Amino acid sequence: MRQLMRGGRFGFFMFLLGMICIYKVASAQQSATDFFKIAVNSMKYSDYNNTIFFATKAIELNPKFGAAYWNRAIAYDYKGDYHASINDYDSALKYYANSIDLTTLHKNRGMVYNDMREYDSAIIDFNKALALTPDYPLAYWNRGIAEDGIDRSDSAVKDYTRALEDFVSVNDICQLHLLRGLAYKKLKKNEKSNAEFKEILKLDTAHDYHRAYAKYILETPDSARYTIRTAIVNAKGNADAYMNAYFDAARLFSVMNNKEKAIGCLEMSFDLGYKRFNNVDGRDFDNFRDDPEFVALVKKYKDMANKPSQIIPLPKKPVDK
């Protein structure tokens, strides 16, 4: 999930209580593994500050704790601290020999490079992942994004096509059709591009971002607005879905070049707890990337998210008598 209040206030209270109990054990035994468990639990609640804090404590006790570097790298990426994330993935790679783990680590580091828009470095990592595991669909998917980022859209189409062979989730399939449709549009293959968006409308019967985007491309802005607004209404009652619906609306309105609605929905998503700043750096927001109002809004909430989030203080070591 992407906010602290998953499961409501009671669920979050139980999480904090559990974290305190685990922490007391870790404090008494000074165990790197116990600190790591708290980091993992913090990640489940999108508490990236505590994830980093306790993963760091685990690493201080065990500098060769590969999983702690890995976990902390994910948290740094989500916070938009990309260089720290890359450094942790570099460290994590030293402590794994299993091809499956190495495949995932290279894919993950490649995704951070994608977030940084350092696409050549990203492609190197995705190629390494595919060399280790040739049938890894997530590597094809993300390499496609990198290829498209450097205007090699023909190669991107091939990677999206290969990735589509292995996904069964409607959401994943629609996202890949959307990406392939945009790549065809860059190649000025409009008939093929429209076919991708028509496929989304055929597969995706829910009111969501993919369907709204397809309606924007194939129909009218009004039909896209109606679809994304319906998605927000339908998400009420589910804190996670409600927050994400507003974020998706912000993405769509940005693509539609509606600054007022984009910024309004983005601010609402932040107020509801959205903290995945790597997604805020995504291409959907490029229409307003340098807009002073957009920049100020993102900075405000990023600064708020970087403040300590109820980090449990470490106890002082007992004084020898």
Q: Write out pLDDT tens, residues 155-193.
A: 999 999 999 999 999 999 999 999 999 999 999 999 999
Answer with the one of 65, 95, 125 that is the final residue of a domain: 95
Note whether residue 83 is domain-resident: yes
Answer with the one of 95, 120, 144 that is the final residue of a domain: 95
Tens digit of pLDDT for each residue in 80-114?
999 999 999 999 999 999 999 999 999 999 999 99
Note whether residue 68 is domain-resident: yes
Q: Is the pLDDT of residue 268 over 90?
A: yes
Note whether residue 81 is domain-resident: yes
The number of folded domains in the chain is: 2
Note whether residue 317 is domain-resident: no
Note whether residue 116 is domain-resident: no
DSSP letters for 103-132: HHHHHHHHHHHHHHT-HHHHHHHHHHHHHH
Q: Is the pLDDT of residue 72 over 50?
A: yes
Note whether residue 9 is domain-resident: yes
Write down the pTM of the prediction. Answer: 0.87
Note whether residue 188 is domain-resident: no
Residues near 172 by beta carbon (within 8 Å), at least 6 away in sequence:
none
| Matching residue, tokens 């859209």 | 153
Domain limits for position 304:
230-312
Note whether residue 257 is domain-resident: yes
What CATH number is attached to the domain comprising 39?
A: 1.25.40.10
Answer with the one of 63, 95, 127 that is the final residue of a domain: 95
Tens digit of pLDDT for each residue in 221-246?
999 999 999 999 999 999 999 999 99
